[in-house]
Amino acid sequence: MDKPTLRTIAQATGLAVTTVSRALAGDPRIAARTRAAVAEVAQRLGYVPDRAAQRLRTGRSKVVALLLNTGHEYLGFTHELIAGLMSALNGTGYSVAMLPDLIDEGRDAAVREVLRNRMADGIVFSRTEVFDARVRLLSEHGFPFVSHGRTEFAIPHAFVDYDNEAFARAAARHLVGRGRERLLMIAPQGRFTFGQHLRYGLTAEGRAAGAVVEIPEDIHLDRPPEEIAAWLRRRLMRPDRPDAIICVGEVPAIAASAALGDIGLQAGRDVDLVAKRASPVFEMLRANVFTAFEDLRETGRLIGDTLLRRIAGEPPETLGILQPPVIEFTPDREAARRSG
């Protein structure tokens, strides 16, 4: 009733351990008849190769490491990404291990650990920075990884990214088209590349259309929603108040919506709200927000596929995916009711 090993099968079939190993690997040097016989016995005994032994011998762990933000995260961003990643890895024998991404201190610690003890064959991480230390380190070592988000390094590397610049441009066009002139964005921190893309896109497109664009440095997506709401209340009471708010994230959008209500302004009338959404929560809210959907499960899948190809040896030059944004801003229930 012990776990069967190659030796068990070797004894059962009268073959050598090496032969069994090769047979199971489908090595063409082993006669087809032998391979079939071995496969049959292995199947019957319920043989499963020992991962630890394979890993020790080959140096490959069949594990993919995912760096996980340890801070608070309010809507189901992570879950969707992980689910997508797992579905891409499903059936490949790879599993996902999680390591903490200590975002505010030595962000490359987890990466260094993986490089040191080879606990994974590849790495995935989000919230990529413009000159991300992890990207630099991993690229230098030629270690397979996929960043969720681009960098501005000259060296190409594998990435999967949502076209945030296009999203921001579309939002600007949408709002200016509705007659808005003072655009405010609650954006990611500027250290993150996608924060830069969003800033650039909104600023360029907005100004070209003659609008004023405002993007606070200090009030960003990682601030607690209460603080965002409080800041917005103050900001909206000044005479030069924005007439449109773009929120890159669902919770800040809810905060913005609350702030508007608090000071007696109406979304859709006094101020337009635009948000990126990853869950169907907005469909339940009567917040009068225009949203564009970002499919993070699909992103996770693409990341998984890309990483597998990178691990298989494809060069990083050819492994960059820029997901086009859905440029249609769907009004939520309230907006739909109001305008139709």
Partner DNA sequence: ATGCAAGTTTGCATCGTTACAACTACTCTT
Partner DNA sequence: AAGAGTAGTTGTAACGATGCAAACTTGCAT
Among 137, 204, 281, 327, binds a second copy (CB under 8 A): 281
CA nearest neighbour of 305 among 152, 146, 185, 180: 146
Question: In the stretch 28-67, what mask flags binding to DNA with x, by CB under 7 A?
Answer: -xxx-xx------------x-xx--xx-xxx---------
Question: Residue 182: which of a second copy, DNA, none does it interact with, CB under 5 to 8 A by kind?
Answer: none
46, 177, 264, 324: residue in contact with a second copy (rule CB under 8 A) = 46
Distance between CA 40 and CA 43 in Å, rounded? 5
Q: How big is the chain, counted in residues?
A: 340
Task: Locate 139 and state its tokens.
Answer: 């690229």
Residue whose C-alpha is closest to residue 165's, from 29, 16, 17, 325: 325
Q: Count of residues binding a second copy (CB under 8 A)? A: 56
CA-nearest of 271, 222, 216 to 245 is 271
Which one, 32 or 154, has the nearer CB to DNA?
Answer: 32
Residue with the two structure tokens 């990884």: 145
Per CB under 7 A, does 270 bind DNA? no
Indicate whether 119 belongs to the interface with DNA (CB under 7 A): no
Among 12, 39, 45, 119, the residue binding a second copy under the rule CB under 8 A is 119
Residue 77 found at the interface with a second copy (CB under 8 A): yes
- Local structure of residue 271 (DSSP, 8 states): B
d(CA 86, CA 31): 36
How open is the CA angle 181-195-209, to the nearest 5 degrees? 25
Which one-letter amino acid corresponds to residue 241?
A: R
- CA–centroid distance for 68 within its chain: 10
> Considering beta carbons, is residue 77 or 168 the nearer one to a second copy?
77
51 binds a second copy, rule: CB under 8 A: yes
Q: Nearest approach, Cβ of 115 to DNA (angstroms)? A: 15
Residue 56, class by beta-carbon neighbours within 10 Å (0-12 exposed, 13-18 middle, 19+ buried)? Answer: exposed
Residue with tokens 């995916």: 321
Closer CB to a second copy, 100 or 315, in the complex: 100
- Specify the residue, 56 or 336, whose C-beta has the smaller distance to DNA: 56
The token pair that represents 269 in the structure block: 């009338």
Q: Indicate the residue among 109 and 212 with the shorter CB distance to a second copy.
A: 109
The span of 67-75, 156-164, 194-202, 321-329 binding a second copy (CB under 8 A) equals 67-75
Dist. CA 114–CA 317, nearest whole Å: 23
Report, in Å, the least distance between residue 141 CB and DNA: 17
| Stretch of 30-38, 74-82, 128-136, 205-213 contacting a second copy, by CB under 8 A | 74-82
Among 8, 12, 45, 76, binds a second copy (CB under 8 A): 76
201 within 8 A of 175, measured Cβ to Cβ: no
SS (H, E, C) 13-55: HCCCHHHHHHHHHCCCCCCHHHHHHHHHHHHHHCCCCCHHHHH
- Does 116 interact with DNA (rule: CB under 7 A)? no
Q: Does the protein bind a second copy through residue 61 (CB under 8 A)?
A: yes
186 lies in the binding site for a second copy (CB under 8 A): no
Stretch that binds DNA, among 8-16, 179-187, 260-268, 292-300 (CB under 7 A): 8-16
- Segment (H or E) for 96: strand 95-101
Q: Which residues bind a second copy (CB under 8 A)?
A: 3, 46, 48-53, 55-56, 61, 63, 68, 70, 72-80, 82-83, 86-87, 90, 95-100, 116-119, 224-226, 229, 251, 254-255, 257-258, 261, 279-281, 283-286, 333
